[in-house]
Structure 1
Amino acid sequence: MENYMTEGNAAKSIAYFSIPLVLSSVFQQLYNLVDSIIVGNYVGEDALAAVGASYSITMVFMSIAIGSGIGCAVVISQYYGAKMIHKMKTSIYTSIIAIAVLSVFLACIGWIMSDFLLQIMKTPQNIFYDALSYLKIYFLGLTFMFLYNIITSIFNALGESKIPLYFLIFSSFLNILLDLIFVVKLQYGVVGVAIATLIAQGVSAFLSITYLLFNLKKFKTKDEMVLDSNLSSKTSEIKINKKENINKRKDSKDVKIFDFPILKNMSKIAIPSIFQQSFVYISIFLVQIIVNTFGSSIIAGYTIATKIDSITMIPLASFGNAVGTFTAQNIGAKKIERVKEGLKSSLIIITLMSFAIFAGLFIFGQNIIELFLNNAQSGDAIDFAVKYLKIVSGFYIVKGFMNAYCGVLKGSGDISVFVLSTMLNFLVRLIIVYVFAKTIGPSVIYYGVPIGWFVGLLIGYIRYKSERWKFKSVVK
């Protein structure tokens, strides 16, 4: 299972890691995408809007899971790159326990506050109760989502991006099957969508955590490898000396189930990351409030556009994440120049991908959108979604570059500037929407997106060129 990114061709290492990451993200998005297609076609526009109105709230909680995953992954990846296997294993166990406890607490909070959150979002009355039902069931499965997310972050930190993909393929097809049963056959509507997602996430979480714990045994500490080598030698009578026995016991003792100093190290990265991710999705939440004031047609169009947008940007986000893992492992291995080599290769690939995705959306964007809604019945929603995708996708290269430079900052442990870059990106977008919503109208929603990306890229680029990120390693 060992897959170090500290050796060999840098471009190949990142590409090899990124391809399964892209596919994993695609299948992850299928949960929401298939939900939307089935709801839009079999239940109606109001039901689709209800899922969309709930989405921004669920993303606030998802931000905590993502931020926690970032903190855990950076520490695990740097220990792995430094080949400190006992510390790596302790970090993994600590991560799982801490995330499980946190998720149960947040699930209770979310369940209690669901009604209040929808009210302050000014959710239209015609979709309010469907949105509330969706949220209540979502919070029942919050722990599954948190656990799956942290296990995925752990596998990615170890350079094993293929493993989460396999589980996601299975759970995505399971989700589709359950959608057809609960929504189409049993006609449970939005509730059926939520139940299908809960079951699929639960199965995926259980399978992935079982596989991880079983395969951790394959990682050997240095003393364990020495011991295995001695036991497999050709000498017929091997005696393990007292020193080796002491080392083995000491090393085994070092692999703890829970370690507060390691949790503290993770928290130094995780807490700012959670704050950053929370700010991102709170910004989305606040933008959704403005979107809701334009009526259910614009809500539906915005929901469709952002779901398509979230999938088409997956390759760009995946390469940013790959740069982060690549950086973390090489920082741990003290290979700074290799980090720079990996970034340059990633920028070239991101440029090519950005233009290809833009061309595809410009030509086929409306055809994709019409998979969600009937053009004759939902013309306003489709027109808005088409305009959103054409404007925003033209600046995907800016988003891709921002992800890559911020990936270096994140992987190195330079978390404060990484957080600043992302937060200003969304803050600028939020200001534009709230200041100009009344004068410009719904189109302000997509004009602010690329402006925010430019701000985020500028901050990430300046920090990278300063080279201060080199000295932010968690592993000393």
Structure 2
Amino acid sequence: MAATLQNGMNLTEGPLAKKLLLFAMPILMGNVLQSLNGTINAIWVGNYLGESAFAATSNANNIMFFLLSLVFGVSMASTILVGQRIGAKDEAGAKRVVGASALFYVLLSLVIAAAGLLLSTQILRWMQTPDDSMGYALAYLRITFLGIPFMFFFNFVMTVLRGAGDAKTPFYFLLMSAVLDIALNPLLIFGLGPIPRMETAGSALAAVIAQGVSLVAFILYLYRKKHPLRLTRADRGYVRLDPQIIKLLVRKGIPMGLQMLIVSTSAIATVALVNGFGSAATAAFGAAMQISGYVQMPAMAIGGAVSAVAAQNVGAGKWERVHRTTWIGCIFNLGMTGLLVALIYAWNEPILHIFLKDEAAIRIGANINHITLWAYILFGITFVVSGVVRSTGAVMIPLLTTFLALWCFRIPLAYYLGSAYGLDAVWWSFPIGFMCGLLLSVMYYLWGNWRKSSMILNSPASQKAPAS
């Protein structure tokens, strides 16, 4: 297993704070990169193809977010499983996870791609896509579904490497994908020479090509470098639907995916409430959410990093390092998120002017930021604590905590405050909801039985690849 650790970081030994920071930074830069890529692509479509095309891609992207929410959970389960096996110095177990997970991802992606291609029109009708956007949306969605296998497997390979302690290599190939996507978008949207004008279909095809090329380059790189977790001919017996691993991926992954769905549906409910206060309020809230999306990135990167770090230490049985990971992650979140919040408070209205021109909307947006931004520090601490808890495979209580904080506290409170006291009061539901989530998460961390949860494989570390 020493060879494996040379390709990544041994997160079970050495200075924990330094290793956690070095591990989190590529994840953070990758998150920023993906957001900027999406923003640039949206600018091409929105500014040059019109509102109908922009609405079409927005509808299609909502479907992709739903699918990626479910895959997020399965990928997190894979990260934890690989991390635990690495921490236990169980190379056979790690390869067993890689083989079963790879086959699972391939089959899942092919089923979803086929179903999506067959049902694209019906899905868009269910979403009540406007007639003037239907053509754009259908072309965009069909090509996006064709690219699902590339998207899912690219995500899987990144997951395996992060579980093995390597966050830098996935970032390099994520950078390759983003650069290709940005370069191909205008070329395929508008056409050039023999390349026809494809409009929204061109934007979708740019993403598919970028991810496909980057995935192939990624895999070739891993085999050229002889990464210890690559599957060779001798390991082909691991490529099977291992019942125990598939059960763990589904049983642990679905609740983590549902957490993302709870978050996204709560955002939709809040948008529906704000829409009732007029277009200025809707525009202001949209701009504030764009800003808060960047504020949340450090917490999400640190949360993902602590899950991988803690998983390796759970596998190694080093619980003292698991708990130190929690506190160091919380301190990093306080510093990084706190700095971003302070900067935005200092330049609140100038930043809002990037998104808004209407002075009434800017005033509303400034008020939203004043009331809510500091509370994202609480969100970050919750995300870190939940990330450590998930590293053992304890997923049901974090799911319940998210549901309670959002759908039993924040959303009902937002509707009550908006009805009783007006628009300005709605924003107080954010810090109150974040505080509820933090209290519930910390209580479970301190007094819950998450340490007894298990994703340990039954087979011994000495297990060889089964005969194919």
Q: TM-score, normalised by structure 2?
A: 0.82
Report the counterpart of residue 33 of structure 1 in structure 2. Answer: 39
Matched, 1:70 2:76: yes
Alpha carbons of structure 1 residues 120 and 280: separation in structure 2 relative to 1, 3 Å: farther
Cα distance 1:103–1:387, how it changes in 2: closer, same or farther (>3 A)? Answer: farther
The equivalent residue for 1:246 is none
Higher deviation after alignment, 260-269 or 206-215: 206-215
Partner Cα separation in structure 1 for residue 87 and residue 412 of structure 2: 41
Deviation digits for residues 430-459 of structure 1 (CA, Å, limit 9, x no counterpart): 445666677777778755444432232222
Partner of 1:142: 148
Structure 2 counterparts to residues 289-328 of structure 1, below 5 A: 304-328=287-311
Aligned-partner SS, 1:412: coil
Question: In 2, are the aligned partners of 1:52 and 1:303 still within 8 Å (CA)?
Answer: no
- Alignment of 1:202 onto 2:208: no
Note the C-alpha offset of 1:38. Answer: 3.0
SS of residue in 1 equivalent to 2:21: helix
State the 1:472 CA deviation. 1.5
> Is contact 2:223-2:230 (8 Å) kept?
no
1:472 equivalent in alignment to 2:461: no
- Shift, 1:37, TM fit: 3.0
Distance 1:379 1:115, change over 3 A: farther
Greater Cα offset, 69-78 or 211-220 = 211-220
Q: Is the 8 A contact 1:66 1:274 kept in 2?
A: yes
Q: Residues of 2 paired with 1:42 and 1:220: CA distance?
A: 44
Say yes or no: does 1:417 pair with 2:397: yes
Distance 2:47 2:363 in 1: 18
Partner of 1:396: 376
CA distance in 1, matches of 2:27, 2:443: 27
Partner of 1:224: none
2:320 corresponds to: 337
User: What letter matches 1:147 in structure 2?
Assistant: F
2:162 maps to which residue?
156
Give CA deviations for 1:304-363 in whole Å, capped at 9, x if unaligned. 544443333211111111111111110100000111112111211211112211122234
SS of alignment partner, residue 89 of structure 1: helix
Question: Which deviates further from its counterpart, 109-118 or 332-341?
Answer: 109-118
- Residue ranges of structure 1 left out of the alignment (5+ in a row): 222-251
CA separation of 1:198 and 1:448: change in aligned 2, threshold 3 A: farther
Q: Name the CA distance, whole Å, in 1 between partners of 2:16 and 2:145.
A: 41
Paired residue for 2:3? none
Q: Distance in 2 between matches of 1:109 and 1:320?
A: 33
How does 1:22-421 map onto structure 2 within 5 Å? 22-44=28-50, 47-121=53-127, 127=133, 129-183=135-189, 188-212=198-222, 215=225, 217-218=227-228, 256-258=238-240, 259-284=242-267, 304-368=287-351, 370-371=353-354, 375=357, 388-421=368-401
Asked if 1 retains the 8 angstrom alpha-carbon contact of 2:295 and 2:337, the reply is: no
Contact 1:104 1:143 in 2 (8 A): yes
Greater mean deviation of Cα atoms: 86-95 or 258-267: 258-267
Q: Closer, same or farther in 2 for the Cα pair 1:217/1:201, shift >3 Å?
A: closer
Conserved in 2, the CA contact under 8 Å of 1:122 and 1:289? no
The runs of 5 or more residues in structure 2 that have no matched partner are: 1-6, 458-468
| Shift in Å, 1:90 | 1.3
**Distance between the aligned counterparts of 1:446 and 1:112, measured in 2?**
42
Give SS of 2:391's match. helix
For residues 184 and 74 of structure 1, the distance between their equivalents in structure 2, rounded to whole angstroms, comes to: 43
CA distance in 1, matches of 2:339, 2:250: 39
Gap change, CA 1:299 and 1:408, over 3 Å in 2: same
* Residue number in structure 2 paired with 1:226: none
Q: Which amino acid aligns with 2:104?
A: A
Residue 424 to residue 379, structure 1, CA distance change in 2 (3 Å): same
Shift of 1:204: 2.6
Distance change >3 Å, CA 103–CA 220, structure 1 → 2: closer
| Equivalent residue, structure 1, for 2:4 | none
- Indicate if the aligned counterparts of 1:56 and 1:288 stay in contact, CA closer than 8 A: no
Whole-angstrom distance in 2 between the partners of 1:296 and 1:126: 22
Aligned residues: 444
1:461 maps to: 442
Which is worse superposed, 395-404 or 385-394? 385-394
- What percentage of aligned pairs have identical amino acids? 30
CA contact (8 A) 1:124 1:292 kept: no
By how many angstroms is 1:465 displaced?
0.4
The AA in structure 2 aligned to 1:197 is A
Structure 1 residues 75-84 or 38-47, which shifts more?
Answer: 38-47
Report the Cα distance in structure 2 between the residues aligned to 1:184 and 1:302, rounded to whole angstroms.
Answer: 32
The code of the aligned residue for 1:203 comes to: V
The RMSD of aligned alpha carbons is 3.5
